């Protein structure tokens, strides 16, 4: 049975899908989507177990990739370009390995063989595994995040994962399943063939997610791979250096040259 997938849609033109990272949602990509909608028809889904999309029992890449592939096909989205960040990039790679075709792929700070998770992600996973106290406003939530040692930008990320229910803020994302299955985000995505789909891997200068080993393994699979490092950016490249990020992405998507 098809899963309910919430999505946002912008602009007209060639199809472009954006897949957010773990604990993310479509809201976070609205500025990027609006800018790119000047040239593309942009579709930004909430991945299963995130945002307003249906919850499932697993964040396994194979399961999630199948759901998103079915969602795109049901909306007549065939061979789109894709921008995918972190966990979302692993989902895109799994979709590709499973037979879904993309015109071009922009993988943001993630490659198929990446198995690294920094201390910030580990902290967030531990945090969401704990019960939330009663919170009746977003101001209370922000104070709770701050008092719990969550950095401001990650507090903003977590705040977008909250929704009011019966007078109390609760997680929109499937906190228990994500926390319990966090090891899933470290899985390799295995390819059984050489892949000619153009791939742009964007690395944040200050991030360790993309290393020499994962680059070498990606080059063995993707014969049309470009790698760009964005100065002054960490794992969330699109937030740390939005202008540089958009410039590189737009150039790649429109003419395949950097």
Does pLDDT of 58 surpass 60? Answer: yes
Q: According to CATH, where is 3.40.50.1820 located in the chain?
A: 7-114+188-255
pTM of the model: 0.94
Q: Is the pLDDT of residue 256 over 60?
A: no
β strands within 46-115, DSSP E:
81-85, 105-108
Render 106-172 in DSSP notation, one character per residue. Answer: EEES--TT-----HHHHHHHHHHTSPPPP--SHHHHHHHHHHTT--HHHHHHHHTTEEEETTEEEES
Determine the topology of domain 7-114+188-255 in CATH. Rossmann fold (3.40.50)
Structure-model confidence comparison of residues 102 and 180, the more confident one: 102
Q: Using CA atoms, how far apart are residues 240 and 242, in angstroms rounded to an integer?
A: 6
Nearest to 160 by CA among 71, 52, 243, 7: 52
d(CA 116, CA 110): 9
Give per-residue pLDDT as tens, 199-227.
999 999 999 999 999 999 999 999 999 99
Q: Place 132 in a pLDDT band, splitting at 50, 70 and 90.
A: very high
SS3 255: helix
Contact 53, 47 (CB under 8 A): yes
């Amino acid at each position: 049975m098809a899963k309910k997938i919430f999505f946002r849609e912008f602009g007209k033109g060639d199809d472009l899908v954006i897949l957010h990272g773990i604990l993310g949602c479509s809201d976070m990509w609205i500025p990027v989507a609006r800018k790119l909608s000047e040239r593309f028809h942009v579709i930004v889904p909430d991945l299963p177990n995130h945002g307003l999309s249906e919850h499932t029992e697993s964040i396994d890449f194979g399961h999630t990739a199948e759901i998103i592939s079915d969602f795109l096909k049901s909306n007549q989205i065939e061979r789109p370009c894709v921008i995918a960040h972190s966990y979302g990039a692993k989902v895109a790679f799994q979709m590709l390995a499973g037979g879904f075709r993309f015109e071009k792929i922009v993988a943001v700070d993630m490659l198929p063989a990446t198995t690294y998770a920094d201390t910030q992600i580990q902290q967030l996973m531990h945090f969401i595994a704990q019960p939330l106290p009663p919170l009746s406003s977003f101001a209370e939530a922000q104070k709770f995040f701050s008092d719990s040692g969550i950095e401001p930008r990650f507090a903003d990320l977590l705040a977008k994962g909250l929704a009011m229910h019966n007078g109390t803020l609760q997680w929109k994302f499937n906190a228990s399943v994500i926390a319990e299955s966090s090891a899933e985000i470290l899985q390799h995505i295995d390819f059984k063939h050489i892949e000619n789909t153009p791939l742009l891997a964007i690395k944040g200068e200050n991030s360790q997610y993309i290393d020499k080993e994962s680059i070498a393994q990606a080059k063995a699979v993707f014969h049309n791979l470009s790698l760009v490092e964005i100065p002054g950016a960490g794992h969330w490249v699109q937030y740390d250096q939005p202008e540089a990020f958009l410039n590189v992405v737009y150039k790649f998507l429109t003419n395949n040259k950097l």
